[in-house]
Amino acid sequence: MIASQAFSVKTKLHWRKLTWEEVRQVLHTGFTEWQTLPDSVLTDNEMGLGGNPNDPFPSWLSLYLAGLGIKHNFIRSHQPTDQPQVERNHRTLDGFTEDEGSRRDLSHLQQALDQERYVYNHQFPCRASDCDGLPPLQAHPALRSPRRPYRPEWEGVLFDLQRVYDFLANFSFERKVNRNGQVTLKGHHYTVGLAHKEKNIQVRLDADTQEWRFLESAEQGQSQELSRRKLFGMDFQTLTGLEKPKDLSALPPIQLTLPLAA
């Protein structure tokens, strides 16, 4: 069990889903506790995790993970059996913390989650096929050895905006220019020009210049560039929720593990 965090999801009339920033917070907690970054993260496709299903633009969570060099994988839509261990984990942890004391309030629930997760990882004989009746951390001691070392104070160095730009450059977005000559990308308005209003266009990112390229498809199959606009609203603080360190030289040295060709 990598991380578990309790949130209040009560609203005046109903309940709410977690925001992507809250999911980022849970991941950040897991990275910090285990002092490592994973190679990939697997989630379902709900909008807060995977973005708008009608628009291929990556979610904020996907962009954050890309900046850390983490691949964001998704299960098939409406197929929770693609991650049965996670679903079973939820049931197990829920059963461990269903007593009245643990459910008294959010603080007591968090304490119970932390305690039960520790017991499960370190002491509880696990029936999973690859644990052979041992607690998970006894069966898999390699989990204690960080593969991609991480500390919160290192994120300013480990997070690379260029990775985000390179990731976005793999996509092409269809947009219709509105009557004001603008299109919207990730909540921001960009002017293409009144001469192109009502046109359906393609939008791609130039990762080298961090500019959006607005393209009109020609009959020959080529794409004529209509205009360019500088990308904005996708900075370090927006994606990480952290302040960019002003003096990176003051940070402690980082030991990185790099693969070598055989």
Q: Please state the three-class secondary structure of the chain as a single string.
A: CCCCCCCCCECCCCECCCCHHHHHHHHHHHHHHHCECCCEEEECCCHHHHCCCCCCCCCHHHHHHHHCCCEEEECCCCCHHHCHHHHHHHHHHHHHCCCCCCCCCHHHHHHHHHHHHHHHHHCCCCCCCCCCCCCHHHHCHHHHCCCCECCHHHHHHHCCHHHHHHHHCCCCEEEECCCCCEEEECCEEEECCHHHCCCEEEEEEECCCCEEEEEEECCCCCEEEEEEEECCCCCHHHHHCCCCCCCHHHCCCCCCCCCCCC
Render pLDDT for 61-90 as a digit per residue (tens, 0 to 9): 999 999 999 999 999 988 888 988 888 888
User: What total number of domains does the chain contain?
Assistant: 1
Q: Report pLDDT for 53.
A: 87
Give a yes or no: residue 69 inside a domain: yes
Judge contact between 22 and 16, C-beta under 8 A: no
Give a yes or no: residue 33 inside a domain: yes
Give a yes or no: residue 96 inside a domain: yes
Give a yes or no: residue 205 inside a domain: no
Give a yes or no: residue 24 inside a domain: yes
pLDDT band at 254 (very low <50, low <70, confident <90, very high): low
Give a yes or no: residue 170 inside a domain: no
For the residues 43-53, what does the mean pLDDT come to? 90
Render pLDDT for 84-108 as a digit per residue (tens, 0 to 9): 888 888 899 999 999 999 999 999 9
Give a yes or no: residue 5 inside a domain: no
Give a yes or no: residue 120 inside a domain: yes
Give me the domain span that covers residue 52: 20-158
Say how many C-beta atoms besides its own lie within 10 A of residue 64's C-beta: 24
pLDDT band at 48 (very low <50, low <70, confident <90, very high): confident
Q: pLDDT higher for 144 or 250?
A: 144
- Length of the chain in terms of residues written: 262
Render pLDDT for 151-184 as a digit per residue (tens, 0 to 9): 999 999 999 999 999 999 999 999 999 999 999 9
CATH number at residue 117: 3.30.420.10
Q: pLDDT higher for 142 or 244?
A: 142
Q: What is the mean pLDDT of the chain?
A: 91
Render pLDDT for 190-243 as a digit per residue (tens, 0 to 9): 999 999 999 999 999 999 999 999 998 765 566 799 999 999 999 999 999 998
**Which residue type, as a one-letter code, is found at position 79?**
Q
